[in-house]
Chain A
Amino acid sequence: NAGVMQNPRHLVRRRGQEARLRCSPMKGHSHVYWYRQLPEEGLKFMVYLQKENIIDESGMPKERFSAEFPKEGPSILRIQQVVRGDSAAYFCASSPPNVAGNTIYFGEGSWLTVV
């Protein structure tokens, strides 16, 4: 049973370009979470999605960031017109259907570098 798969692991973008980060949850998991880890800041919640639904996007920046989890295929975190401050590690996590207290399982992360 494969774990949470994220790709690419490393991504370099120039300022103004778009970054797309993909996440395939564990088999049987229908809930996906995106977190951002900035140096010395720990992990910050960005968004929580179920298939075809955004449940909580309270941690998403208001502009340039979007996320989706389509009926088929991986979840996508999209960052438009990237800036240097977007450089960070982006972690995806997944969990089984909604039972509070369930462990959420993390992927290996996608490291975005904006040059």
Chain B
Amino acid sequence: AQSVTQLDSQVPVFEEAPVELRCNYSSSVSVYLFWYVQYPNQGLQLLLKYLSGSTLVKGINGFEAEFNKSQTSFHLRKPSVHISDTAEYFCAVSDRGGYQKVTFGIGTKLQVIP
């Protein structure tokens, strides 16, 4: 079984400042890792995913994340945030060997301050 920990429930940041949203996972097997974004009253949209290969993954809207196996982390970063990035961000994990059951973290609310 896997679990995902998002250490920060809310992250306020000024517009054009950099941001990092932290995610740690635990699993007894190799995993795939995902970040999803949810805008108010909407479903989840995939930002990026790590399957294999380069540990630095680039996604949509200028976001990127780095997979660190030794620290079991998959932190999400953006060098300069925009007001439109205000949303809730979910880190997620699924087993490599199993079917596509995805386990989500509790979410981090990013509040971009003008």
Contacts and interface: CB of A to CB of B under 8 A. Distances in A.
Range class of the A interface residue count: 20 to 34
Given A42-B106, A45-B103, A98-B99, A103 B43 contact: no
Contacts, number: 69
Given A106-B43, A108-B43, A109-B42, A100 B98 contact: yes
Given A42-B104, A42-B106, A43-B104, A100 B43 contact: no
B7 interface: no
A41 B9 CA distance: 10
A107 B103 contact: no
Contact of A109 (B43, B102, B106): B43
B101 interface: yes
B85 interface: no
B44 A100 contact: no
B70 interface: no
Interface of chain A: mostly helix, strand, loop or mixed: strand
Interface in A77-115: 91, 93, 95, 98-109, 111
A52 interface: no
A55 interface: yes
A48 B101 contact: yes
Nearest to B104: A43
Interface of B: 9, 32, 34, 36, 41-46, 49, 51, 90, 94-107
Interface of A: 4, 31, 33, 35, 40-45, 48, 55-56, 91, 93, 95, 98-109, 111
